[in-house]
């Protein structure tokens, strides 16, 4: 009956219109996602220095004599330092009983801040404060062929549990590394909290049951900075030490180096949107009759003239 009533109807062309509609909608959705292509590697020349920041993540850094805690304050300082850097390369070391390179030297400051967010006492398995190891790891990760343009920033409460930090500082200086130390904490001392599932459950105690007090040791930090022609900074409540250390870093001799970065990302959405619109246009004008794909289209409004007219 359908064939008798609509002899020109084509199931195949109806199916084709449906496929065109689906492909058009898919193309428009991809275009709205704004795909990007055409990136290329480009060399960029910069002038700056190589800066490695070593952060103490021992449990004594959880003390809250500096708000919100020594460690969180240290991370805030590093974040602000990174925000104010321009062409310097920056690396990140975390240390407690041992030192670990968290991020190699890079100009990708956004990545540096992402790595900084992950810093906590759990990233280093051995507890303690091995400043000498932090200096040694920094030395290995600087360019060994250069004898200048290198700076190490040590942020710690200064409770060094291993000897040799001052001698390592002298060796680093012989290789062109200037060490700046930032002491964080109070000389009066503070209790070390014990954390469990992100909550404070008590305070660290010694073998006799007494609470362990952690004090800032300015003496060793001053000696380390003096041994490497650097400077000691005491972290206070304000952010004046950030301006001071940036001023010191600005006085260092700059070097020129090249970086390879991806540039020129080109938007490709317009091609997908255009393809989708064209397919919708074709689908709209396509006839479902066998007489022709566009037999039902009468663009110019022509009509047949009868004998009566």
pLDDT per residue over 248-290, tens digit each?
Answer: 888 887 777 666 655 566 778 888 899 989 988 888 887 666 6
The residues spanned by each domain of the chain are 1-38+267-309, 44-261
CATH number of 44-261: 3.40.50.410
Helix (H, G, I), strand (E, B) or coil at 161: coil
Q: How confident is the model at residue 241 (pLDDT cuts 50, 70, 90)?
A: confident
Give tens-digit pLDDT for 93-121.
999 888 999 999 988 898 999 999 989 88
Between the CA of residue 222 and those of 32, 59, 93, 96, 297, what are the distances in Å?
A: 58, 22, 20, 19, 88
Residue recorded with tokens 């540039």: 263
Lowest mean per-residue pLDDT among 37-46, 48-57, 238-247: 37-46
Lowest mean per-residue pLDDT among 35-49, 83-97, 157-171: 35-49
Region for residue 214 given its phi and psi (left: phi exceeds 0; alpha: psi -120 to 50; beta: otherwise): beta
State pTM to two decimals: 0.67
Helix orientation angle between 11-32 and 269-285, rounded to the nearest 10 degrees: 160
Give the model's pLDDT for residue 309. Answer: 47
Query: Measured at the alpha carbon of residue 255, what is the angle toward residues 244 and 253, in degrees to the nearest 5?
Result: 40
Please tell me what DSSP assigns to residue 299: T
What is the C-alpha radius of gyration for the chain, rounded to an integer number of angstroms? 34
Q: How confident is the model at residue 51 (pLDDT cuts 50, 70, 90)?
A: very high
Residue closest to 276 by CA, chosen among 84, 4, 22, 91:
22
Residue closest to 193 by CA, chosen among 211, 210, 208, 209:
211
Of the spans 120-124, 166-170, 288-292, which averages the highest pLDDT?
166-170
Share of residues in the chain with pLDDT > 90 (%): 28
Cα 171 to Cα 175: distance, rounded to the nearest angstrom: 7
């Amino acid at each position: 009956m359908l064939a008798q009533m609509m002899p020109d109807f084509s199931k195949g062309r109806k199916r084709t219109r449906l496929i065109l509609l689906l492909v058009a909608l898919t193309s428009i959705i991809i275009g709205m996602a704004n795909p990007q292509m055409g990136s290329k590697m480009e060399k960029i020349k910069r002038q700056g220095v190589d800066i490695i920041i070593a952060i103490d993540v021992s449990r004594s850094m959880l003390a809250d004599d500096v708000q919100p805690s020594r460690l969180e304050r240290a991370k805030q300082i590093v974040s602000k330092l990174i925000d104010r850097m321009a062409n310097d390369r920056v690396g990140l070391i975390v240390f407690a009983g041992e030192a670990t390179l968290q991020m190699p030297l890079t100009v990708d400051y956004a990545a540096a801040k992402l790595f900084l967010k992950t810093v906590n006492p759990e990233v280093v398995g051995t507890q303690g404060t091995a400043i000498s190891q932090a200096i040694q790891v920094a030395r290995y990760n600087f360019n060994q062929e250069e004898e200048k343009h290198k700076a190490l920033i040590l942020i710690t409460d200064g409770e060094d549990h291993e000897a040799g930090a001052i001698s390592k500082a002298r060796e680093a200086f012989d290789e062109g590394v200037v060490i700046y130390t930032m002491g964080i904490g109070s000389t009066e001392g503070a209790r070390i909290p014990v954390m469990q599932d992100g909550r404070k459950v008590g305070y660290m105690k010694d073998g006799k049951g007494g609470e362990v007090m952690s004090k800032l040791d300015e003496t060793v930090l001053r000696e380390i900075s003096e041994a490497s022609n650097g400077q000691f900074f005491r972290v206070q409540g304000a952010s004046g030490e950030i301006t001071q250390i940036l001023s010191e870093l600005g006085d260092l001799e700059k070097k020129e180096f090249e970086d390879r970065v991806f540039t020129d990302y080109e938007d490709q959405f317009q091609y997908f949107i255009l393809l989708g619109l064209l397919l919708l246009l074709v689908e709209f004008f396509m006839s479902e009759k066998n007489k022709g794909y566009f037999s039902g289209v009468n663009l110019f409004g022509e009509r047949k003239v009868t004998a009566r007219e």
